[in-house]
Amino acid sequence: MLNITKIILCIAMSLTLLLSGCGGKTAGGDGSQNAKEAVEQTLSAKESKTAANAKASNAAGVPKSAELLATIPPFSGKPYVTVNNNKPYFTKSEITREAFEKYSELDKLGRPGVAFACIGVEIMPTEKRGKIGQIKPPGWHTARYDDLIKDKYLYNHCHLIAFMLAGENANEKNLITGTRYFNTEAMLPFEQEVFNYVKNSKNHAMYRVTPVYDGDNLVASGVLMEAKSVENDKLEFCVYCYNVQPGVGIDYKTGESWRE
């Protein structure tokens, strides 16, 4: 901000000297005053925009990971719990009928962040899903528990925004390390609910999935899933899904696991 201010002041002074030389004393005086006012207006506009952006970044009100984890009860056999009375944190300014999808940049540990979208039939996939095995999300391990897990393998490549909703597949910003139980028993029913609503109604749904990490853990403890129909009130939920696997212990710091 200081560098920008200096540049603007330099430009204003140059204009003042130019006006003084071309128009005499009266013109110079008017030019100086006008330049000063222009600087003040520009700085005021920049400060207002900065404040607005700061306000917008906090407007959603989604709790930070530590705050959310402090309110989530320990896993007790149900794959998810409702959060915020099942009301999503979307603000009016975030709600739109224009379909889009946005993915956060990976953090310093290579972990995906918030995935946000307005789901509509216009961004749903028209082709079959491709391979994703080449992506290794943070905390990934190839671990098998044949007698505990129907599909044998502990971990899945879990899409934050399901392929069926936006057609996004082998995108490292959209894949986290999640258990089979988490993927099929916790997330899938809600993904299917959004898919069915949009596909059948041809309407739109705001959709956001936030990975919840405990400190520097590589594996998310779970995800916060939010959805809200745009054109009506027929779809709405806000849930926390547990990234667990019954019968298996997990070190979320590294992704290592063991039989309990």
Mean pLDDT of 10-35: 44
Both tokens of residue 194? 């959004």
Least confident window among 26-30, 177-181, 217-221: 26-30
- What is the structure's pLDDT at 18? 40
Assess whether pLDDT exceeds 90 at residue 167: yes
What SS3 class is residue 104? coil
Distance CA 180, CA 127 (A): 24
Mean pLDDT of 84-109: 97
DSSP state of 204: -
Phi-psi region of 73 (alpha: psi -120 to 50; beta: other; left: phi over 0): beta
pLDDT band at 95 (very low <50, low <70, confident <90, very high): very high
CA distances from 89 to 49, 67, 239 (A): 23, 15, 11
Mean pLDDT of 97-114: 98
Least confident window among 25-39, 95-109, 236-250: 25-39
Listed residue (87, 115, 149) closest to 220, CA to CA: 115
Compare 225 and 53 and report the one with higher pLDDT.
225
pLDDT digits (tens, 9 = 90+) for 107-142: 999 999 999 999 999 999 999 999 999 999 999 999
For residue 173, which amino acid is it? K
CA distances from 59 to 27, 55, 67, 92 (A): 47, 6, 16, 10
Least confident window among 2-6, 127-131, 215-219: 2-6
